[in-house]
Chains A and B, each alone.
Chain A
């Protein structure tokens, strides 16, 4: 499809401004010439062309409302329309972050209340809603741990991270100044207690754990893990990426976790936006409350206001307060479900994933045996003999009208190879899952009999497979790069 730049025509305009431009004020009196730049050449297109351009672009995308989007560990559930509406209420939308608090009591109350709700759902005692995304929450959470030990005068320089963790865990720990020690998973895909015993020492700050983990497994020894970490003076961090499986069933706060981050755009029904914005609230136990980032919302029984949490706070991690419009949607989602609905959501997600696992395990040998949580990790390792990789299976799924599952993650030997991590969230009904299962079984047969169908896939999408090597070797990162390339022939 043409770029917007290729649709530009001199003199066309897509904007309108009030007639009064205060033109009597000479520009030189505002900004002296030496500080002014040349007019930036963008595009010249009319409003209707802009609308058509981006509408057509949208049709090249695949969204949750187009069909199953079973990306493992991403929890691509339905995003209720009512949330979008409520986040757009004018009194919310036009709230300036430096408004006097008496103008924005409703906004502050919603932030405060959501923190309370999340506390009850996860068993944590204090929340910050500042983090802009899951990884941002991780960074804040690990910085809280760091500051806590610093205050206690304890020199702990290492952080334990299982090999099954999301890449954000080691990356956040490193950003927070920790040396990352990777823990090898056992043959069940969970924490090897012996490894943990060895690694968890007085120089180690703690363990970052996702539970259920990315292999889709509940860690059966979570009680013992907490004992070991706390016994050596460490703190236990909960990565909430997979919280969806546990709503109303298991609360991280009850399992001994000291710091928790949540992904409102996964568990709590807010949209992923093609890459965000989401929100990554962080919950802590009472003893870590003073370390929360600034500002926090405070309620004195009458009025809400923003407050700096004081000396011990890790400081600000962003400008202003929070990703407010995302918070509105999560708040609406929680209240729509209520306590029973949250539990029903978790159970339905777990049943969906186990149903899919039961029906597909004979075709795509799973990484591990036993039941899974809200996602299952299948593999394409048995198709190697036909020259087929998991990537080919994923691309073929597109021809059947599906977004593929997460592939090649988790990725560690010897169990998690050629992985397909499938997560059918609670908003998917059985028929949808049955159709997906049928497509997967058909692809398994194609892989044996007619592997070219997979190797040539996808064919039914707006474009075919891309040359990612060319993109790196010949970086064209904006339109002027492309123009230059054309000039050079």
Chain B
């Protein structure tokens, strides 16, 4: 077997050196009754060429998705990722390494993580950044658990415009703690501030609001955070489209206590939903309650600047059942992907990419409304996603777009099962769409 260097004769010599006559002696401790005696019923072994053929054949049962530009986002966005990112990520020193427990052999990973924490601190305006939780949804759930620990209360208000996956993940994570989750309804596509104020009570641990929210609308985060602060309840902002931070106000400047973000838009391909990378931002005073790993700067014995994993007394390998979370392996390589992506974009590139996104999205939205086949559902500002009501049946919209080579928007009526959203669709437009693409979409749907 090409991944196993020791041949049968070598193995015999090794067994001899161990002092046994055959392999069975080494595993004699395993009770015979539970041993597996047959041959596993799995295919293979395949040669590398057979493997390439077999898996490529599977891939070809997908449509040619490189050519299908998605008009859907809803938490996963197709942005352009430079070949620089994949080329650097494919360096074995990065992708085959373990978690950087031995800093003398891991300064590459550790410095990259520190740089990412630095980028994210500036992007979000948060004082501390945990660079990797599995994804945005689990980051949001961890943020809620953290708020429960900090407040010692057990009621959480959740905006109805929070991504349903984030909402469901929060439900799953809090179920054992019997946390009361209260939904704050929306009004005109935005979280209803008056209803939020009504719902805030002494037992409220936290408020969770996504911005831009699931419908694409940009919330007035500071206006929602203010009543929470007065109560006091912790204010958690979720961000599913982190590119929006290149243009919108920083959460740290709007009274956000804990930020739960999804970094997929910052250098990760779609990959059918994962792996992506979540992150958390928080006030520095909450550091001890944060889950997950963080890197800090220090010095080596010669006084040289270097980086280590720090504030470790929160983690499972040290604190066991008293840890802030069970998270161990996270999505470390994607920290690096985002660090490289952000370094390439830089100050101007990030801003301009965000600008193109919002302008291109507005271009399509206006064009579609202009056809007379679509109506606005909400009248609120949006970044690169928007909700429209189709006057034609959604199936027809879907079919036209698929035939034209576009992945259709998410039909909210059937997806959310809400009658008042029947016939509405959540569109996403990113910088990968040219004007010609968007004109073509308009033409397909305007007929």
Binds A, one of B63-71, B195-203, B370-378: B63-71
How many angstroms between the C-alpha atoms of A299 and B445 in the bound complex? 33
Residue with the greatest number of chain B CB neighbours at <10 A, chosen from A35, A77, A250, A482: A35
How many angstroms between the C-alpha atoms of A96 and B12 in the bound complex? 50
Within 8 A of A (CB), among B258-302: 262, 269-277, 284, 287, 293-302
Q: Whole-angstrom distance from the CB of A270 to the nearest CB of chain B? A: 10
A358's contact among B18, B299, B362, by CB below 8 Å, is which? B18
Least CB separation from B76: chain A residue: A97
**Using Cβ atoms and an 8 Å threshold, which residues of chain A touch B332?**
273-277
**Using Cβ atoms and an 8 Å threshold, which residues of chain B touch A135?**
316, 326-329
A468's contact among B40, B128, B298, by CB below 8 Å, is which? B298
**Using Cβ atoms and an 8 Å threshold, which residues of chain B touch A482?**
297
User: Is there an interface contact between B107 and A478, defined as CB atoms closer than 8 Å?
Assistant: no
User: Is there an interface contact between A60 and B111, defined as CB atoms closer than 8 Å?
Assistant: yes
User: Is there an interface contact between B129 and A272, defined as CB atoms closer than 8 Å?
Assistant: no
B4's contact among A176, A324, A345, by CB below 8 Å, is which? A345
How many angstroms between the C-alpha atoms of A93 and B268 in the bound complex? 10
User: Is there an interface contact between B34 and A277, defined as CB atoms closer than 8 Å?
Assistant: no
Residue with the greatest number of chain A CB neighbours at <10 A, chosen from B97, B112, B330: B97
A93's contact among B26, B177, B271, B361, by CB below 8 Å, is which? B271
Q: Whole-angstrom distance from the CB of B50 to the nearest CB of chain A? A: 8
Binds B, one of A162-170, A230-238, A382-390: A162-170
B11 within 8 A of A: yes
**Using Cβ atoms and an 8 Å threshold, which residues of chain B touch A168?**
316-317, 326, 328
How many angstroms between the C-alpha atoms of A463 and B284 in the bound complex? 28
User: Is there an interface contact between A175 and B176, defined as CB atoms closer than 8 Å?
Assistant: yes
User: Is there an interface contact between A409 and B317, defined as CB atoms closer than 8 Å?
Assistant: yes
User: Is there an interface contact between A478 and B274, defined as CB atoms closer than 8 Å?
Assistant: no
Least CB separation from A255: chain B residue: B34
**Using Cβ atoms and an 8 Å threshold, which residues of chain A touch B68?**
94, 99, 103
User: Is there an interface contact between B274 and A95, defined as CB atoms closer than 8 Å?
Assistant: no
B447 within 8 A of A: no
User: Is there an interface contact between B88 and A61, defined as CB atoms closer than 8 Å?
Assistant: no
**Using Cβ atoms and an 8 Å threshold, which residues of chain B touch A36?**
247-249
Instruction: For chain A, give the interface size range.
Output: 35 or more
- 14 further interface pairs, Cβ-Cβ under 8 Å (given A86-B59, A429-B6, A464-B304): A17-B352, A21-B355, A42-B122, A63-B93, A92-B271, A93-B269, A146-B175, A173-B321, A275-B109, A275-B335, A324-B271, A340-B39, A398-B105, A471-B296
**Using Cβ atoms and an 8 Å threshold, which residues of chain A touch B352?**
17, 21
A105's contact among B19, B23, B61, B132, by CB below 8 Å, is which? B61
Q: A14-B346, A338-B43, A345-B1 given as contacts; is B407 within 8 A of A103 (CB)?
A: yes
How many angstroms between the C-alpha atoms of A66 and B333 in the bound complex? 18
User: Is there an interface contact between B165 and A316, defined as CB atoms closer than 8 Å?
Assistant: yes
How many angstroms between the C-alpha atoms of A334 and B75 in the bound complex? 31
B419 within 8 A of A: no
User: Is there an interface contact between A318 and B300, defined as CB atoms closer than 8 Å?
Assistant: no
How many angstroms between the C-alpha atoms of A293 and B48 in the bound complex? 34
A310 within 8 A of B: no
Binary contact track A303-322/B, C-beta < 8 Å → 1, others 0: 00000000000111111111
Least CB separation from B25: chain A residue: A371
B62's contact among A103, A180, A254, A343, by CB below 8 Å, is which? A103
Q: A35-B381, A170-B321, A370-B29 given as contacts; is B274 within 8 A of A43 (CB)?
A: no
A71 within 8 A of B: yes
Q: Whole-angstrom distance from the CB of B298 to the nearest CB of chain A? A: 4
B74 within 8 A of A: yes
Within 8 A of A (CB), among B354-384: 355-356, 358-363, 381-383
**Using Cβ atoms and an 8 Å threshold, which residues of chain B touch A57?**
107-109, 111-112
**Using Cβ atoms and an 8 Å threshold, which residues of chain B touch A328?**
55
A59 within 8 A of B: yes
**Using Cβ atoms and an 8 Å threshold, which residues of chain B touch A121?**
40, 42
Q: Whole-angstrom distance from the CB of B314 to the nearest CB of chain A? A: 11
Within 8 A of B (CB), among A165-196: 166-168, 170-178, 180
Within 8 A of B (CB), among A376-431: 394-395, 398, 403-404, 409, 426-430
B392 within 8 A of A: no
Q: Whole-angstrom distance from the CB of A240 to the nearest CB of chain B? A: 13
Least CB separation from A224: chain B residue: B31
How many angstroms between the C-alpha atoms of A279 and B128 in the bound complex? 27
Total inter-chain residue pairs, C-beta < 8 Å: 707
Within 8 A of B (CB), among A3-55: 3-5, 8, 12-15, 17-18, 20-23, 25, 27, 29-32, 34-37, 39-45, 47, 50-51, 53-55
A319's contact among B48, B169, B297, by CB below 8 Å, is which? B169
Within 8 A of A (CB), among B119-155: 119-123, 125, 128-129, 132, 134-138, 145
Q: A88-B86, A336-B45 given as contacts; is B274 within 8 A of A133 (CB)?
A: no
**Using Cβ atoms and an 8 Å threshold, which residues of chain A touch B272?**
92, 95-97, 99, 104, 107, 320-322, 324
Within 8 A of A (CB), among B83-101: 84, 86-88, 90-100
How many angstroms between the C-alpha atoms of A99 and B66 in the bound complex? 13
B186 within 8 A of A: no
Within 8 A of B (CB), among A119-176: 120-121, 123, 132-136, 138-139, 143, 146-147, 161, 166-168, 170-176
User: Is there an interface contact between B105 and A54, defined as CB atoms closer than 8 Å?
Assistant: no
User: Is there an interface contact between B52 and A86, defined as CB atoms closer than 8 Å?
Assistant: yes
User: Is there an interface contact between A170 and B320, defined as CB atoms closer than 8 Å?
Assistant: yes
How many angstroms between the C-alpha atoms of A167 and B326 in the bound complex? 8
A37's contact among B56, B114, B253, B331, by CB below 8 Å, is which? B253
Within 8 A of B (CB), among A61-102: 61-66, 69, 71, 74, 76-80, 82, 84-86, 88-100, 102
How many angstroms between the C-alpha atoms of A294 and B169 in the bound complex? 10
Binary contact track B156-196/A, C-beta < 8 Å → 1, others 0: 00000001011011011101110000000000000000000
How many angstroms between the C-alpha atoms of A3 and B250 in the bound complex? 24
Least CB separation from B366: chain A residue: A25
Q: A121-B42, A223-B33 given as contacts; is B381 within 8 A of A31 (CB)?
A: yes
**Using Cβ atoms and an 8 Å threshold, which residues of chain A touch B11?**
347-348, 351
How many angstroms between the C-alpha atoms of A92 and B63 in the bound complex? 9
How many angstroms between the C-alpha atoms of A464 and B308 in the bound complex? 12
Residue with the greatest number of chain B CB neighbours at <10 A, chosen from A20, A318, A336: A318
User: Is there an interface contact between B359 and A274, defined as CB atoms closer than 8 Å?
Assistant: no
Within 8 A of B (CB), among A260-299: 263, 265, 269, 271-279, 293-294
Binary contact track A344-365/B, C-beta < 8 Å → 1, others 0: 1101101110110111000000
